A and B are shown apart, each in its own frame.
Chain A
Amino acid sequence: MYQAMTSLGYAAESGYKGRIRLEGDPKGASVLVLGAGLAGLAAALELRQAGYKVTVLEFNNRAGGRNWSLRGGDSYTELGGATQKCEFDAGLYLNPGPWRIPYHHNGLLDYCRRLGVTLEPFQQLNHNAYLHSAKAFGGQPRRIREIKTDFQGHTSELLAKVVQKGQLDELVTKEDREVLLESLRWWGVLDRNYAYKAGLITSEFRGYERDPGGGLGAEPVAGEVIGLSDILQSRLWRGLSSFAAYEFQTTMFQPVGGMGRIGEAFTREVGDLITYNARVTRIAQGEKSVTVTYQDTTAPGATHQVSADWCVCTIPLSILSQIDVQVGDPMLAAIAAVPYASSVKIGLQFKRRFWEEDEQIFGGISYTDLPIRQISYPSNDFNTTGKGVLLGCYTWNGANSYELTSMSPQQRIERALDCGMQIHPQYRREFETGISVAWHRSPFTLGCAGDWTEDARRQHYDNLCQIDGRIVLAGEHASYIPAWQEGAILSALDAIGRLHKRVVQG
């Protein structure tokens, strides 16, 4: 059945093969799961269900790992010691790590279904959000719908001209040329002469200077189109691909109440297996068992040891590469081969939802070349009065990400406000409180996610994923979907599937 579904193109998306079946009796075998992020939690849940004795060791005093939401009352201490207290109002939150789920991440979606995590749409593309460059259009942001429609229109017009001059005659057959012209008119909103022009027809796509209304004086006004050269030189077209990528296509989801709801739901199932505040410092193995040494971070100085038959280790490689792990050289080399990406997220609470009230932006993301890179508007509680939290900065690698990480939390927020002001002048007047997470300062990951290169993957990936004696690794770093929760889930299911086979085959 599954075979049939895949050949029809269904169910193939993320490589998720449906709910895992660990058939056969593990005969009381025990497993140590290291790390209670989504990889560790999924492994623990399935292994216990299959009859294993499971113990989970987790560094933090909560489960979920990077699956995490910061809400009012939470506090967060980053490396270096700066502690931030989250002062958001009730119901408001920042997802400092994962925040959106593609519709084809079937494994994660299946766990959300099973664990009763309610999802709502995450708006990735909002045509009314902005594209912005400090160096273009006098620093004024442009609506995505304007850039998209005008860019498409101008390039269609150019192509139509080339076709009409016969300059594509060698590349396109006569029959296709006619259809091509027709399609360009249709795709680029060109007029009868294949020209892209301001007018009420193009306004139906790019929007109006004045929207059509009702009653007297209500006729629509079209407004000017933006010139091709202005669009090209502005480089705002770069923002358009952010919505086109497979990973970001509609429909995307977010859990109601924050991404952290997934980790919380897992914790309801397997929380009783977890030892918190346990900092793993050594992983040793012998013929018959694995022995893990850890410190209780609430009682410094004390070290503990725990043994089991097998070990599923989901500790991020950034940290695992510093731990004494008794595995073979190929796996050790793989563990050492992956640096971790830089990322900074900043959440800003405002007194009112001015982006909705003043600018009709309901969800979605504005892209900018300022250091904050993005402003994302909440995808929930649309059209309500009251406060809201914006994602006021989301960097990924590059100098600015390191520079923001180097700052104090207060400095980061100041910079995010300075930048955001250039797009939304309401910022300073409406701002109340903010919180930032710079992932290289995260005590439990030392980074955002595994930053694999093609070379490193070719050389090390398979060695990373092999079972080494009694130890197998899992986590987003052991997947081809790094920096996505689906990668963590799929790698965990694959790892325990292979481990279980070994156990039942004896």
Chain B
Amino acid sequence: MRLVVFLTAASLPIAGAVAAEPILSPGFRFSEQTGEALYSNACQACHMGNGEGATGAGQYPALARNPKLETAAYPTYVVLKGQKAMPAAGRLMTDEQVAAVVNYVRTHFGNDYGPPTTAEQVKQAR
């Protein structure tokens, strides 16, 4: 079963955007609010459109079917603090946004993990 997270986000102004529609935020920080919009405008830069990752001289790991996403704590940590080549993208997001995108990758691309993390938990981890 896929967890449906952030139903309320649909009422936010910028959140209506479809994943395929690229967004350019008006400021230095990410303005996207839904997990889907955040994924496809931030994480997709490296982890690619279907979470498949990519390989060149080095690689971006696949997030698709990735058992390391089972607990929310690990992806939350990686997004907030960065890890090796991955910058701390979460520094340009609110706690709510980080929770949304972490929950999104844990419930898409062949992942089906719960329970969802919350902005409060992200705040603790920051």
User: Which A residues lie at the B interface, using CB under 8 A?
Assistant: 59, 79-81, 279-280, 315, 317-319, 321-323, 336, 339-342, 371, 397-400, 402-407, 411, 415, 438, 440-447, 451
Q: Which residue of B lies closest to A35 (CB)?
A: B57
Q: Which of B56, B58, B84 contacts A339 (CB 8 A)?
A: B84
Contacts of A445 in B (CB 8 A): 57
Q: Does B115 contact A (CB under 8 A)?
A: no
Q: Tell me whether A444 and B56 are in contact (CB under 8 A).
A: yes
Q: Which of B31, B85, B89 contacts A447 (CB 8 A)?
A: B85
* A443-B56, A444-B57 known; A339 vs B24 contact (CB < 8 Å): no
- CB contact list, B21-62 vs A, under 8 A: 22-25, 27-31, 40-42, 44-46, 48-49, 54-60
Enumerate chain A residues within 8 angstroms of B46, measured Cβ to Cβ.
Answer: 79, 405, 440-441, 446
Given A79-B54, A319-B85, A438-B45, A406 and B40 contact (CB-CB distance below 8 Å): yes
- Residue from A79, A81, A319 having most chain B Cβ neighbours under 10 A: A79
Residues of B within 8 A of A (CB): 22-25, 27-31, 40-42, 44-46, 48-49, 54-60, 82, 84-89, 92
Chain B neighbourhood of A440, CB < 8 A: 45-46
* Known interface pairs A403-B25, A403-B41, A404-B24; A446-B30 also in contact (CB < 8 Å): no
Residues of chain A within 8 A of B60, CB atoms compared: 79, 446
- Complex CA gap A427/B27 in Å reads 24
Complex interface: chain B residues within 8 A of A442 (CB): 56
For residue A403, which residues in chain B have a CB less than 8 angstroms away from its CB?
22-25, 41-42, 45
CB contacts (< 8 Å) of B23 on chain A: these are: 403
Residues of A within 8 A of B58 (CB): 318-319, 322-323, 446
Give the distance in Å from the alpha carbon of A184 to the alpha carbon of B7 in the complex. Answer: 60
CB contacts (< 8 Å) of B29 on chain A: these are: 398-399
Smallest CB separation, B66 vs chain A (Å): 16
Q: Tell me how far the C-beta of A417 lies from the nearest C-beta in chain B, rounded to whole angstroms.
A: 13
**Contact among B30, B42, B45, B87 with A441 in the assembled complex (CB-CB below 8 Å):** B45
Known: A403-B25, A403-B41. A321 touches B56 (CB 8 A): no
Counting chain B CB atoms within 10 Å of each CB, the highest count among A59, A315, A318, A399 belongs to A399
Do A339 and B82 have beta carbons less than 8 Å apart? yes
A308 CB to closest chain B CB (Å) equals 20
Kindly list chain A residues whose C-beta atoms are within 8 Å of the C-beta of B59: 322
A-B contacts, 6 listed (Cβ < 8 Å)? A79-B60, A341-B87, A406-B22, A411-B22, A443-B56, A446-B60
A400-B45 in contact (CB<8A):
no
A319 CA / B25 CA spacing, docked (Å): 29
